[in-house]
Chains A and B, each alone.
Chain A
């Protein structure tokens, strides 16, 4: 029996969903396990390839399963990004899959909106509600009345959502905001990507880029960092980090420079000025500075603003230019002011001539065979912060992979204005609490997906006796590592069902078919036959990775172009920094290395993982320089109140020796009012006083006051409290 016949016979969206508890297609019940029952041996480990979904880096993973349960996640050694290594977050993925607070099946709202009261329904009923309500809203308010808010999700879900919206006639896509898209700044949004060859650099200058924890691709760059330090046959590289508060990345640096917050661009230009005036480079191109000339940025003139001694800046500039393969990278607070600082930092790379050179910056062409599976229409993503995207009224909002009510509590009213809210979240987070209908997605370990990109490594070429860049296009396939634990359904399959019922079927019948089609596109791009044999398909699902031929790096045009420094840099000296008596400090809200911006606060392993620098677990804290604290009569562990113009928070103080005296810092991550037993009611949410994480322009410049507050603080640290005293067990 063919799949189509089976679906027709059993009734659209009926038996195919209920019988198989959440699998879109009957075959999927067997394929995810890959091993038919007759060859399945108890007590033997079966490893399944997938892609990590706990950040956007897309590391390849292997999931160890036994007795049809997953019990360990490891890096996939074949994957070119992480080569077998895996970070703390990735390891904790098992607790996404087996989290006790997962939504166990589709639900509809049974109480007042926001009351958190839901009742379980069947997938049939859920689909019917969705179809009826969408048809109704479309009839009354037109096609554009449906908005799809799509954040971190699989490519398969994204492609299905594109088709769904296109067939529905709506273009209201709302994207997950990315704080300062670094590569778009460098390349003017042309889609190229910059890869930094940290492994082969000899001098690394990082302007706030936490590449060992959260920046871009932490495992890839950590592997490179290991080589940078102690690779075979190379000298140990020197690493200098510029950051107002020492992060774990900065803690690894040979030198930490706490420049004033938001002066990364100034410092980059000051270094450039020294390199040019002392003729330290054979290629002394001067940057185009919008307001004035480069000489105005001389360290002697800007040292007060930057708040570092001019001699130190001159020394760093000399070391940087004299090093064999210097490299500068930028992230974090450098994104202040429309990311001009990132461009200024990147100008240093241009100045020392490391573009597309080993140990430098590489421009990597996008390898995007999946584009052919989309609608062909470019999507205009409305950023979350834009008002239009979230005009409610007579509209429906479908939301997946985003939690705006938590990340930007100020938006709650705007979201509440939608008549009909559908959440695909596998957890009842703050946004899902407002939903009228919950259609829980599978966890990533139960889902189909495919990712394609170009990996970039520089390897020693024995014949040429030189380091040779080798960009390698690859695709990584994720098949379900485990059968669905609950009555959930991959969102792509829900959209496929619903579209069919709305009379506008999508071009594929299941998420698996979407991946198969994508694999054909990849094979075509690799010059192979598009059709794949069953044998090859099976081995592909086992290895998880297909790679194309490496080819030498192409053009340098994007990096050389205007965006890389010729276009006027809107950085000026002596910007007035109003002293502010009411709010004397800058508050730096940063991404928690393990909990991210709060999306992983529901994973107990990560909650109980001590913060590398403060040892804090299970809660929030604010870091204060000990001298500042002394002047405010604040002691370690005291409860303090942090106030900004937007509001105030109470949390415990940690006296932190490695932070500027005029800066206080706190991690995002905690302060959930929903999201399950491990996250809810724990710590505070900095978004309420420092703004949402994606608003870099705002959040790195927020002023605050801090004062001791009355009351007992709850601060748990690892290894510091050993007395025989114990709170009530949970």
Chain B
């Protein structure tokens, strides 16, 4: 894997407070709208072909009537030691110097090795071309590529919004500030459960929250070093 270079570039990370998350799935539709995620349709969805860059998992605990439910939004964890990266034969899956797990659609040849190697099952392969009955295609975001059959796709932390925020800060001749960049899921979150920012900046909200006593990372025992931190529910 590539060497870690000391960089002044922002290191993007997310914190999700599971005590605030209500499982409402506003983030899911926001993500679909922002990232041109195709509609699978009933048949393909039944075959496991629906695409959700972010999904809300739910877990039942206990027996009736003493049942508790836990919700957990899961998207690409943007691992610092991402298992998906070294297996890509064409370098379509790579790590950016801002800590993002990038995906270059034009390089992807569809081996699906990356999806096989991802412990979080957050990578989605396009088995079919997307269909946008007119005039639905007018709602496509012009800043995000539409993916066609044969390529892998996944959460990008809304890279287009990151670039926009960085460009704006540069235009204004300043460093990027906390709150400049919010992916679509974070922007829409109805209970303000999600926080996004530069974890390399110790004053940022994500840096502060990720040190919380409630903080943990998903399957961190695998050594993937995820960039998404979860704050557990309290009782």
Contact = CB atoms under 8 A, between A and B. Distances in A.
A657 B39 contact: no
A222 B23 contact: no
Contacts of A123: none
Contact of A716 (B25, B42, B68): B42
Interface in B88-143: 127-128, 131, 133-142
A74 B183 CA distance: 12
A176 interface: no
A100 B43 CA distance: 19
Given A71-B140, A85-B190, A727 B43 contact: yes
B21 to A, nearest CB: 8
Interface of B: 17, 19-20, 22-26, 28-30, 32-34, 39-50, 52, 55-56, 58, 60, 63-65, 67-69, 71, 127-128, 131, 133-142, 184, 187-193, 234-235
A73 B30 CA distance: 8
A669 to B, nearest CB: 15
A619 interface: yes
Interface of A: 66-67, 69-75, 82, 84-92, 94-95, 97-100, 212-213, 218-219, 222-223, 225-226, 229-230, 236, 246, 248-249, 251-252, 254, 256-258, 485, 593-594, 604-610, 612-613, 615, 617-619, 625-627, 657-659, 661, 677, 682, 714, 716, 718-719, 721-723, 725-730
A72 B35 CA distance: 10
B39 A91 contact: no
Given A73-B33, A91-B188, A226-B193, A100 B46 contact: no
Given A95-B136, A723-B48, 5 more contacts: A88-B28, A95-B139, A229-B19, A730-B41, A730-B42
B33 A222 contact: no
B48 A721 contact: yes
- Top 5 A-B pairs ranked by shortest CB distance? A727-B43, A226-B191, A726-B47, A251-B69, A222-B190
A94 B33 contact: yes
Contacts of B25: 88, 594, 609-610, 612
13 contacts: A71-B140, A87-B24, A87-B26, A87-B190, A88-B25, A91-B29, A248-B24, A249-B22, A604-B41, A605-B29, A607-B42, A617-B42, A722-B48
B20 A72 contact: no
A252 B23 contact: yes
Contacts of B28: 88, 609
A74 B56 contact: no
Contacts of B141: 71-72
A619 B190 contact: no
B55 A727 contact: no
Nearest to B40: A608
Given A94-B139, A226-B192, A617-B45, A627 B23 contact: no
A98 B136 contact: yes
Nearest to B47: A726
B191 A225 contact: yes
B187 A84 contact: yes
Nearest to B135: A98
